Amino acid sequence: MSAFNPLPVTTRFAPSPTGSLHLGNARTAFFSYLWARQSGGRFILRIEDTDAERSQLRFRDALMGELRWLGLEWDEGPDIGGPSAPYSQSERGEFYRQLYAQLEARDQAYPCYCTAEDLELSRKLQRMSGQPPRYAGTCRGLSAAQRAERVARGLKPTLRFAVPKDQIIEFADAVHGPQRFSSNDIGDFIIRRDDGTSAFFFCNAVDDSAMGVTQVLRGDDHMTNTPRQLLLLDALGLRRPGYGHVGLLVGEDGAPLSKRHGSTSAQEFRERGFLSTAILNQLFRLGHAGDTDGWLPADQMRAHFRPQHLGRAPARFDESQLLHWQKETLERMSTTEIRAWLGAEDPAEFVDLIRHNVVLPADAVPWRAVVRGDLQPLGEGERRIIAAAGREFFAAAAAAYTEGNSELKMLTKVLKERTGRKGADLFMPLRVALTGSAHGPELAPLLKLIPPETARRRLESHAQNS
Protein backbone atom coordinates (compact mmCIF):
# COMPACT_ATOMS: atom_id res chain seq x y z
CA MET A 1 0.00 0.00 0.00
CA SER A 2 1.53 3.27 -0.91
CA ALA A 3 1.40 6.33 1.24
CA PHE A 4 -1.59 8.56 1.18
CA ASN A 5 -0.33 12.09 0.75
CA PRO A 6 -3.15 14.56 0.67
CA LEU A 7 -0.81 17.50 0.20
CA PRO A 8 1.67 17.99 -2.62
CA VAL A 9 5.19 17.98 -1.28
CA THR A 10 7.84 20.28 -2.66
CA THR A 11 11.34 18.89 -2.39
CA ARG A 12 14.71 19.94 -3.67
CA PHE A 13 18.19 18.79 -4.44
CA ALA A 14 20.82 21.37 -3.60
CA PRO A 15 24.27 20.20 -4.60
CA SER A 16 27.40 22.28 -4.58
CA PRO A 17 29.13 22.08 -7.95
CA THR A 18 32.52 21.08 -6.57
CA GLY A 19 32.77 17.57 -7.95
CA SER A 20 30.91 14.74 -9.60
CA LEU A 21 27.55 13.39 -8.49
CA HIS A 22 28.26 11.03 -5.64
CA LEU A 23 26.07 7.97 -5.27
CA GLY A 24 24.99 9.07 -1.80
CA ASN A 25 23.84 12.41 -3.12
CA ALA A 26 22.21 10.75 -6.08
CA ARG A 27 20.21 8.70 -3.61
CA THR A 28 18.89 11.65 -1.62
CA ALA A 29 18.13 13.44 -4.87
CA PHE A 30 16.24 10.36 -6.02
CA PHE A 31 14.22 10.06 -2.82
CA SER A 32 13.40 13.75 -2.96
CA TYR A 33 12.36 13.38 -6.57
CA LEU A 34 10.17 10.37 -5.80
CA TRP A 35 8.52 12.09 -2.89
CA ALA A 36 7.62 15.13 -4.97
CA ARG A 37 6.38 13.04 -7.88
CA GLN A 38 4.37 10.72 -5.71
CA SER A 39 2.49 13.56 -4.11
CA GLY A 40 2.05 15.56 -7.28
CA GLY A 41 4.37 18.25 -5.92
CA ARG A 42 7.43 19.94 -7.29
CA PHE A 43 11.08 18.99 -7.39
CA ILE A 44 13.56 21.86 -7.39
CA LEU A 45 17.19 21.89 -8.38
CA ARG A 46 19.25 24.57 -6.67
CA ILE A 47 22.96 25.04 -7.13
CA GLU A 48 24.85 25.97 -3.97
CA ASP A 49 27.80 27.74 -5.50
CA THR A 50 28.61 30.40 -2.93
CA ASP A 51 32.08 28.97 -2.57
CA ALA A 52 33.56 30.61 -5.63
CA GLU A 53 36.93 28.98 -5.06
CA ARG A 54 35.71 25.45 -5.51
CA SER A 55 32.58 25.83 -7.59
CA GLN A 56 32.90 25.25 -11.29
CA LEU A 57 30.48 25.49 -14.12
CA ARG A 58 31.68 22.24 -15.61
CA PHE A 59 30.76 20.45 -12.38
CA ARG A 60 27.34 22.01 -12.45
CA ASP A 61 26.77 20.85 -16.01
CA ALA A 62 28.09 17.38 -15.24
CA LEU A 63 25.80 17.19 -12.22
CA MET A 64 22.78 18.09 -14.29
CA GLY A 65 23.86 15.61 -16.94
CA GLU A 66 23.99 12.77 -14.43
CA LEU A 67 20.66 13.76 -12.92
CA ARG A 68 19.07 13.69 -16.36
CA TRP A 69 20.71 10.39 -17.17
CA LEU A 70 19.12 8.98 -14.04
CA GLY A 71 15.82 10.44 -15.17
CA LEU A 72 15.45 12.83 -12.26
CA GLU A 73 13.85 15.75 -14.06
CA TRP A 74 13.37 18.93 -12.05
CA ASP A 75 10.48 21.37 -12.30
CA GLU A 76 12.51 24.43 -11.36
CA GLY A 77 16.19 24.93 -11.79
CA PRO A 78 19.02 27.12 -13.02
CA ASP A 79 18.57 26.09 -16.64
CA ILE A 80 14.79 26.25 -16.85
CA GLY A 81 14.00 28.96 -14.32
CA GLY A 82 10.86 29.04 -12.21
CA PRO A 83 8.91 31.23 -9.81
CA SER A 84 11.78 31.46 -7.33
CA ALA A 85 14.56 32.25 -9.79
CA PRO A 86 17.48 32.54 -9.76
CA TYR A 87 18.40 28.99 -8.76
CA SER A 88 22.12 29.49 -8.39
CA GLN A 89 23.05 30.94 -5.04
CA SER A 90 25.85 32.95 -6.58
CA GLU A 91 23.10 35.03 -8.18
CA ARG A 92 21.00 35.49 -5.07
CA GLY A 93 23.22 38.01 -3.31
CA GLU A 94 20.64 40.79 -3.28
CA PHE A 95 18.09 38.61 -1.53
CA TYR A 96 20.63 37.62 1.11
CA ARG A 97 21.69 41.23 1.65
CA GLN A 98 18.15 42.21 2.58
CA LEU A 99 17.98 39.48 5.14
CA TYR A 100 21.35 40.37 6.63
CA ALA A 101 20.19 43.97 7.00
CA GLN A 102 17.04 42.81 8.71
CA LEU A 103 19.00 40.66 11.14
CA GLU A 104 21.52 43.39 11.90
CA ALA A 105 18.82 46.00 12.42
CA ARG A 106 17.33 43.82 15.13
CA ASP A 107 20.67 42.89 16.68
CA GLN A 108 20.16 39.29 15.73
CA ALA A 109 23.47 39.31 13.90
CA TYR A 110 26.72 41.15 14.49
CA PRO A 111 30.04 41.67 12.73
CA CYS A 112 32.89 39.54 13.99
CA TYR A 113 36.47 40.68 13.55
CA CYS A 114 38.20 37.59 14.85
CA THR A 115 40.75 36.22 12.42
CA ALA A 116 40.92 32.61 11.32
CA GLU A 117 44.02 32.22 13.50
CA ASP A 118 42.28 33.68 16.56
CA LEU A 119 39.45 31.23 16.13
CA GLU A 120 41.68 28.26 15.58
CA LEU A 121 43.61 29.04 18.74
CA SER A 122 40.43 29.49 20.72
CA ARG A 123 39.07 26.16 19.54
CA LYS A 124 42.31 24.45 20.40
CA LEU A 125 42.24 25.81 23.92
CA GLN A 126 38.62 24.80 24.37
CA ARG A 127 39.35 21.29 23.22
CA MET A 128 42.30 20.98 25.54
CA SER A 129 40.26 22.04 28.53
CA GLY A 130 37.52 19.60 27.62
CA GLN A 131 35.12 22.25 26.38
CA PRO A 132 33.08 22.06 23.20
CA PRO A 133 34.88 24.08 20.51
CA ARG A 134 32.37 26.86 20.16
CA TYR A 135 32.67 30.50 19.25
CA ALA A 136 33.35 32.34 22.50
CA GLY A 137 31.27 35.37 21.63
CA THR A 138 34.25 37.72 21.61
CA CYS A 139 32.73 40.23 19.21
CA ARG A 140 29.14 39.92 20.33
CA GLY A 141 29.07 42.93 22.60
CA LEU A 142 31.31 45.29 20.67
CA SER A 143 30.38 48.98 20.78
CA ALA A 144 30.21 51.15 17.70
CA ALA A 145 33.54 52.69 18.65
CA GLN A 146 35.20 49.31 19.07
CA ARG A 147 33.92 48.23 15.67
CA ALA A 148 35.17 51.39 14.05
CA GLU A 149 38.56 50.84 15.61
CA ARG A 150 38.80 47.37 14.10
CA VAL A 151 37.66 48.52 10.72
CA ALA A 152 40.31 51.19 10.86
CA ARG A 153 42.85 48.47 11.48
CA GLY A 154 41.78 47.00 8.16
CA LEU A 155 39.97 43.98 9.59
CA LYS A 156 37.23 42.59 7.40
CA PRO A 157 34.35 41.27 9.46
CA THR A 158 32.24 38.20 9.03
CA LEU A 159 28.64 38.33 10.11
CA ARG A 160 27.57 36.08 12.94
CA PHE A 161 24.11 35.05 13.96
CA ALA A 162 23.43 35.87 17.58
CA VAL A 163 22.07 32.62 18.93
CA PRO A 164 19.42 33.30 21.58
CA LYS A 165 20.04 31.76 24.99
CA ASP A 166 17.89 29.22 26.80
CA GLN A 167 15.76 28.28 23.88
CA ILE A 168 14.46 24.84 23.19
CA ILE A 169 14.30 24.01 19.52
CA GLU A 170 11.92 21.26 18.57
CA PHE A 171 11.03 19.76 15.26
CA ALA A 172 9.53 16.57 13.91
CA ASP A 173 12.08 14.85 11.77
CA ALA A 174 10.39 12.97 8.94
CA VAL A 175 12.54 9.92 9.45
CA HIS A 176 13.76 10.16 13.05
CA GLY A 177 10.63 11.47 14.73
CA PRO A 178 10.54 14.22 17.36
CA GLN A 179 13.81 16.05 18.03
CA ARG A 180 14.72 18.46 20.80
CA PHE A 181 17.80 20.64 21.16
CA SER A 182 18.96 23.43 23.42
CA SER A 183 20.21 26.67 21.92
CA ASN A 184 22.81 26.79 24.70
CA ASP A 185 24.72 24.07 22.89
CA ILE A 186 25.04 26.21 19.82
CA GLY A 187 27.69 28.89 19.36
CA ASP A 188 27.15 32.02 17.29
CA PHE A 189 27.87 30.89 13.78
CA ILE A 190 28.97 32.70 10.66
CA ILE A 191 26.25 33.53 8.16
CA ARG A 192 28.33 35.76 5.90
CA ARG A 193 31.98 35.31 5.10
CA ASP A 194 34.42 38.20 5.20
CA ASP A 195 34.32 38.41 1.42
CA GLY A 196 30.60 39.08 1.58
CA THR A 197 29.45 35.68 0.33
CA SER A 198 26.88 33.64 2.19
CA ALA A 199 27.66 30.66 4.36
CA PHE A 200 25.89 27.34 4.04
CA PHE A 201 23.82 27.46 7.24
CA PHE A 202 22.32 30.70 6.09
CA CYS A 203 21.65 30.49 2.38
CA ASN A 204 20.69 26.87 2.46
CA ALA A 205 17.99 27.38 5.10
CA VAL A 206 16.79 30.67 3.77
CA ASP A 207 16.47 29.45 0.22
CA ASP A 208 14.61 26.31 1.16
CA SER A 209 12.09 28.46 2.90
CA ALA A 210 11.91 31.17 0.25
CA MET A 211 11.60 28.68 -2.58
CA GLY A 212 8.63 27.03 -0.95
CA VAL A 213 10.32 23.75 -0.16
CA THR A 214 8.05 21.86 2.20
CA GLN A 215 10.22 18.83 2.77
CA VAL A 216 14.00 18.88 3.02
CA LEU A 217 15.57 15.47 2.67
CA ARG A 218 19.27 15.24 3.41
CA GLY A 219 21.90 13.06 4.99
CA ASP A 220 22.07 12.27 8.67
CA ASP A 221 25.19 14.38 8.94
CA HIS A 222 22.97 17.46 8.88
CA MET A 223 20.84 16.40 11.81
CA THR A 224 22.57 18.58 14.40
CA ASN A 225 22.80 21.47 11.95
CA THR A 226 19.04 21.66 11.77
CA PRO A 227 18.39 23.50 15.05
CA ARG A 228 20.66 26.36 14.07
CA GLN A 229 18.92 26.71 10.73
CA LEU A 230 15.58 26.67 12.48
CA LEU A 231 16.72 29.42 14.85
CA LEU A 232 17.74 31.48 11.86
CA LEU A 233 14.47 30.96 10.05
CA ASP A 234 12.53 31.86 13.19
CA ALA A 235 14.57 35.03 13.68
CA LEU A 236 13.81 36.04 10.11
CA GLY A 237 10.16 35.16 10.42
CA LEU A 238 10.48 32.69 7.59
CA ARG A 239 8.38 29.58 7.24
CA ARG A 240 10.04 26.35 8.44
CA PRO A 241 10.23 23.52 5.94
CA GLY A 242 9.93 19.97 7.22
CA TYR A 243 13.20 18.12 7.61
CA GLY A 244 14.04 14.48 7.15
CA HIS A 245 17.47 12.99 7.74
CA VAL A 246 18.34 9.80 5.98
CA GLY A 247 21.02 7.41 7.19
CA LEU A 248 24.25 7.76 5.28
CA LEU A 249 25.31 5.56 2.40
CA VAL A 250 28.49 3.76 3.36
CA GLY A 251 30.97 1.43 1.70
CA GLU A 252 31.55 -2.22 2.40
CA ASP A 253 33.79 -1.40 5.36
CA GLY A 254 31.12 0.75 6.95
CA ALA A 255 32.95 4.00 6.29
CA PRO A 256 31.22 6.71 4.26
CA LEU A 257 31.46 5.94 0.57
CA SER A 258 34.71 7.30 -0.79
CA LYS A 259 37.27 6.86 -3.52
CA ARG A 260 38.89 3.87 -1.97
CA HIS A 261 35.66 1.91 -2.38
CA GLY A 262 36.12 2.05 -6.12
CA SER A 263 33.43 3.72 -8.16
CA THR A 264 31.38 6.12 -6.12
CA SER A 265 30.06 8.59 -8.63
CA ALA A 266 27.12 8.10 -10.92
CA GLN A 267 29.38 8.96 -13.79
CA GLU A 268 31.79 6.12 -13.03
CA PHE A 269 28.97 3.60 -12.94
CA ARG A 270 27.59 4.92 -16.18
CA GLU A 271 30.98 4.67 -17.83
CA ARG A 272 31.32 1.06 -16.74
CA GLY A 273 28.06 0.36 -18.50
CA PHE A 274 25.61 0.22 -15.64
CA LEU A 275 22.10 1.09 -16.71
CA SER A 276 20.32 3.94 -14.98
CA THR A 277 17.32 1.74 -14.24
CA ALA A 278 19.60 -0.74 -12.49
CA ILE A 279 21.14 1.98 -10.36
CA LEU A 280 17.72 3.37 -9.54
CA ASN A 281 16.50 -0.07 -8.49
CA GLN A 282 19.50 -0.37 -6.19
CA LEU A 283 19.22 3.11 -4.70
CA PHE A 284 15.51 2.56 -4.17
CA ARG A 285 16.36 -0.15 -1.64
CA LEU A 286 19.28 1.44 0.14
CA GLY A 287 17.96 3.00 3.30
CA HIS A 288 14.45 2.61 2.03
CA ALA A 289 11.89 -0.14 1.85
CA GLY A 290 9.35 0.12 -0.90
CA ASP A 291 6.20 -1.93 -0.92
CA THR A 292 7.60 -4.53 -3.27
CA ASP A 293 10.72 -6.67 -3.60
CA GLY A 294 10.73 -7.01 -7.34
CA TRP A 295 12.42 -5.06 -10.07
CA LEU A 296 10.64 -1.88 -11.01
CA PRO A 297 10.72 0.19 -14.18
CA ALA A 298 11.89 3.71 -13.43
CA ASP A 299 8.50 5.28 -14.00
CA GLN A 300 6.76 3.02 -11.51
CA MET A 301 9.03 3.61 -8.57
CA ARG A 302 7.19 6.69 -7.43
CA ALA A 303 4.08 4.59 -6.85
CA HIS A 304 6.02 2.22 -4.60
CA PHE A 305 8.02 4.81 -2.70
CA ARG A 306 7.27 5.01 1.01
CA PRO A 307 8.72 8.10 2.69
CA GLN A 308 7.79 6.71 6.09
CA HIS A 309 10.09 3.81 5.35
CA LEU A 310 13.23 5.86 4.93
CA GLY A 311 16.05 4.40 6.97
CA ARG A 312 17.75 5.77 10.05
CA ALA A 313 20.70 3.39 10.10
CA PRO A 314 23.55 3.74 7.61
CA ALA A 315 23.12 1.58 4.51
CA ARG A 316 25.97 -0.34 2.98
CA PHE A 317 26.44 -0.23 -0.72
CA ASP A 318 26.95 -3.73 -2.08
CA GLU A 319 27.87 -4.04 -5.73
CA SER A 320 26.64 -7.63 -5.99
CA GLN A 321 23.15 -6.30 -5.45
CA LEU A 322 23.59 -3.66 -8.12
CA LEU A 323 24.74 -6.42 -10.45
CA HIS A 324 21.51 -8.25 -9.80
CA TRP A 325 19.39 -5.26 -10.79
CA GLN A 326 21.59 -4.82 -13.82
CA LYS A 327 20.75 -8.38 -14.94
CA GLU A 328 17.08 -7.85 -14.28
CA THR A 329 17.13 -4.68 -16.33
CA LEU A 330 19.02 -6.34 -19.16
CA GLU A 331 16.49 -9.19 -19.26
CA ARG A 332 13.79 -6.68 -20.05
CA MET A 333 15.59 -4.93 -22.86
CA SER A 334 15.13 -5.66 -26.55
CA THR A 335 17.97 -6.92 -28.69
CA THR A 336 18.07 -3.55 -30.38
CA GLU A 337 18.43 -1.78 -27.07
CA ILE A 338 21.16 -4.11 -25.92
CA ARG A 339 22.96 -3.74 -29.20
CA ALA A 340 22.98 0.03 -28.76
CA TRP A 341 24.12 -0.38 -25.16
CA LEU A 342 27.04 -2.56 -26.26
CA GLY A 343 27.95 0.14 -28.72
CA ALA A 344 30.04 -2.05 -31.00
CA GLU A 345 27.96 -2.50 -34.14
CA ASP A 346 27.48 -6.18 -33.41
CA PRO A 347 25.15 -8.17 -35.68
CA ALA A 348 21.75 -8.63 -34.07
CA GLU A 349 21.98 -12.42 -34.13
CA PHE A 350 25.25 -12.22 -32.20
CA VAL A 351 23.74 -9.89 -29.60
CA ASP A 352 20.79 -12.20 -29.21
CA LEU A 353 23.11 -15.11 -28.60
CA ILE A 354 25.37 -13.58 -26.01
CA ARG A 355 22.99 -11.28 -24.17
CA HIS A 356 22.46 -13.65 -21.27
CA ASN A 357 26.19 -13.95 -20.76
CA VAL A 358 26.79 -10.26 -20.48
CA VAL A 359 26.25 -8.03 -17.46
CA LEU A 360 28.53 -5.19 -18.47
CA PRO A 361 29.64 -4.25 -21.99
CA ALA A 362 33.16 -5.46 -21.23
CA ASP A 363 31.77 -8.98 -20.86
CA ALA A 364 30.99 -9.04 -24.58
CA VAL A 365 34.61 -8.65 -25.59
CA PRO A 366 35.65 -12.32 -25.29
CA TRP A 367 32.57 -13.46 -27.23
CA ARG A 368 33.30 -11.00 -29.95
CA ALA A 369 36.77 -12.53 -30.16
CA VAL A 370 35.27 -16.01 -30.47
CA VAL A 371 33.39 -14.94 -33.57
CA ARG A 372 35.92 -12.64 -35.12
CA GLY A 373 39.34 -12.78 -33.60
CA ASP A 374 41.62 -14.91 -31.51
CA LEU A 375 40.79 -16.90 -28.42
CA GLN A 376 42.06 -15.98 -25.00
CA PRO A 377 44.64 -18.33 -23.49
CA LEU A 378 42.91 -21.30 -21.86
CA GLY A 379 42.30 -21.39 -18.14
CA GLU A 380 43.16 -24.23 -15.79
CA GLY A 381 39.80 -26.02 -16.03
CA GLU A 382 39.67 -25.62 -19.77
CA ARG A 383 43.11 -27.15 -20.26
CA ARG A 384 42.06 -30.15 -18.26
CA ILE A 385 39.02 -30.70 -20.44
CA ILE A 386 41.16 -30.54 -23.57
CA ALA A 387 43.72 -32.93 -22.15
CA ALA A 388 41.04 -35.37 -21.01
CA ALA A 389 39.51 -35.47 -24.49
CA GLY A 390 42.82 -36.34 -26.09
CA ARG A 391 44.44 -35.62 -29.42
CA GLU A 392 42.61 -38.35 -31.30
CA PHE A 393 39.31 -36.82 -30.40
CA PHE A 394 40.25 -33.48 -31.93
CA ALA A 395 41.77 -35.17 -34.96
CA ALA A 396 38.45 -36.89 -35.50
CA ALA A 397 36.58 -33.65 -34.85
CA ALA A 398 38.69 -31.69 -37.32
CA ALA A 399 38.29 -34.40 -39.91
CA ALA A 400 34.55 -34.61 -39.48
CA TYR A 401 34.26 -30.84 -39.64
CA THR A 402 36.37 -30.66 -42.81
CA GLU A 403 34.22 -33.33 -44.42
CA GLY A 404 31.34 -30.90 -44.32
CA ASN A 405 29.80 -31.51 -40.92
CA SER A 406 29.95 -27.89 -39.96
CA GLU A 407 26.66 -27.82 -38.13
CA LEU A 408 26.99 -28.79 -34.47
CA LYS A 409 24.20 -31.33 -34.76
CA MET A 410 25.88 -33.15 -37.62
CA LEU A 411 29.30 -32.78 -36.09
CA THR A 412 28.28 -34.36 -32.78
CA LYS A 413 26.36 -37.11 -34.53
CA VAL A 414 29.37 -38.15 -36.58
CA LEU A 415 31.73 -37.81 -33.65
CA LYS A 416 29.46 -39.87 -31.47
CA GLU A 417 29.59 -42.67 -34.04
CA ARG A 418 33.32 -42.46 -34.55
CA THR A 419 34.51 -41.96 -30.97
CA GLY A 420 31.71 -43.47 -28.94
CA ARG A 421 31.50 -40.41 -26.75
CA LYS A 422 28.36 -38.66 -25.69
CA GLY A 423 26.97 -36.00 -23.41
CA ALA A 424 29.35 -33.71 -21.63
CA ASP A 425 32.40 -35.74 -22.76
CA LEU A 426 31.43 -34.93 -26.28
CA PHE A 427 30.22 -31.37 -25.99
CA MET A 428 32.62 -29.88 -23.51
CA PRO A 429 35.83 -30.47 -25.44
CA LEU A 430 34.18 -29.01 -28.53
CA ARG A 431 32.95 -25.99 -26.60
CA VAL A 432 36.34 -25.33 -25.11
CA ALA A 433 38.24 -25.82 -28.36
CA LEU A 434 35.84 -23.66 -30.32
CA THR A 435 35.23 -20.86 -27.81
CA GLY A 436 38.09 -21.08 -25.34
CA SER A 437 35.74 -21.36 -22.41
CA ALA A 438 33.81 -24.05 -20.58
CA HIS A 439 30.89 -21.69 -20.21
CA GLY A 440 29.00 -19.58 -22.63
CA PRO A 441 26.04 -19.18 -24.95
CA GLU A 442 24.42 -22.07 -26.74
CA LEU A 443 27.06 -23.72 -28.85
CA ALA A 444 25.20 -24.61 -32.04
CA PRO A 445 24.24 -21.08 -33.06
CA LEU A 446 27.56 -19.78 -31.84
CA LEU A 447 29.39 -22.22 -34.11
CA LYS A 448 27.44 -20.89 -37.08
CA LEU A 449 28.89 -17.46 -36.43
CA ILE A 450 32.48 -18.68 -36.38
CA PRO A 451 34.14 -18.57 -39.82
CA PRO A 452 34.62 -22.20 -41.03
CA GLU A 453 38.33 -21.80 -41.50
CA THR A 454 38.70 -20.49 -37.95
CA ALA A 455 36.63 -23.30 -36.49
CA ARG A 456 38.62 -25.92 -38.34
CA ARG A 457 41.89 -24.39 -37.23
CA ARG A 458 40.77 -24.35 -33.59
CA LEU A 459 39.84 -28.03 -33.67
CA GLU A 460 43.00 -28.98 -35.44
CA SER A 461 45.27 -27.10 -33.07
CA HIS A 462 44.41 -29.54 -30.30
CA ALA A 463 44.91 -32.58 -32.52
CA GLN A 464 48.54 -31.70 -32.91
CA ASN A 465 50.18 -30.17 -29.92
CA SER A 466 48.47 -31.06 -26.71
Of 90, 9, 11, 97, nearest to 47 (Cα)? Answer: 90
* Site residues (CB under 7 A) for RNA, limited to 141-160: 156, 158
For RNA, which is the closer residue by CB, 422 or 457?
Answer: 422
Distances (CA, A) of 215 to 24, 173, 234: 18, 10, 17
* Site residues (CB under 7 A) for RNA, limited to 341-360: 356-357
* Site residues (CB under 7 A) for RNA, limited to 177-216: 177, 179-181, 185, 187, 189-190, 193-195, 199-201, 204
Of 45, 15, 23, 13, nearest to 317 (Cα)? Answer: 23
Which of 8, 40, 132, 452 forms a contact with RNA (CB under 7 A)? 132
For RNA, which is the closer residue by CB, 237 or 423?
Answer: 423
* Site residues (CB under 7 A) for RNA, limited to 248-277: 248, 254-256
Q: How far apart are CA 94 and CA 96, in angstroms?
A: 5
CB of 83 vs RNA, minimal distance in Å = 22
Q: Residues 232-251: x/- map of binding to RNA (CB under 7 A)?
A: ---------------xx---
Does 381 engage in binding with RNA (CB under 7 A)? Answer: no
Does 431 engage in binding with RNA (CB under 7 A)? Answer: yes
Which of 32, 209, 214, 225 forms a contact with RNA (CB under 7 A)? 225
For helices 276-284 and 319-331, the axis angle rounded to 10 degrees is 130
CA atoms within 13 A on the CB side of 326: 20
CB of 191 vs RNA, minimal distance in Å = 9
For RNA, which is the closer residue by CB, 235 or 385?
Answer: 385
Does 51 engage in binding with RNA (CB under 7 A)? Answer: yes
3-state secondary structure of 5: coil
Which of 85, 210, 298, 323 forms a contact with RNA (CB under 7 A)? 323
Backbone angles phi, psi at 11, to 5 degrees: -120, 175
Residues 6+ apart with CB under 8 A from 377: none
CB of 50 vs RNA, minimal distance in Å = 5
| Burial class of residue 256, CB neighbours in 10 A (0-12, 13-18, 19+) | middle
Does 421 engage in binding with RNA (CB under 7 A)? Answer: no
CA angle 192, 151, 99 (to 5 degrees): 30
Does 174 engage in binding with RNA (CB under 7 A)? Answer: no
Instruction: Specify the long-range contacts of residues 255-263, CB closer than 8 Å, at least 24 apart.
Output: 256/24, 257/22, 257/23, 257/24, 257/317, 261/317, 262/319
* Site residues (CB under 7 A) for RNA, limited to 112-131: 114-116, 119, 123, 127, 130-131
Distances (CA, A) of 132 to 126, 232, 332: 6, 21, 55
Does 448 engage in binding with RNA (CB under 7 A)? Answer: no
Which of 438, 450, 456, 460 forms a contact with RNA (CB under 7 A)? 438
Q: How far apart are CA 169 and CA 172, in angstroms?
A: 10
CB of 357 vs RNA, minimal distance in Å = 5
Give the helix ranges, DSSP H, for 3-92: 23-39, 57-69
Does 293 engage in binding with RNA (CB under 7 A)? Answer: yes
Q: How many residues bind RNA (CB under 7 A)?
A: 83
Does 400 engage in binding with RNA (CB under 7 A)? Answer: no
Which of 399, 443, 449, 450 forms a contact with RNA (CB under 7 A)? 443
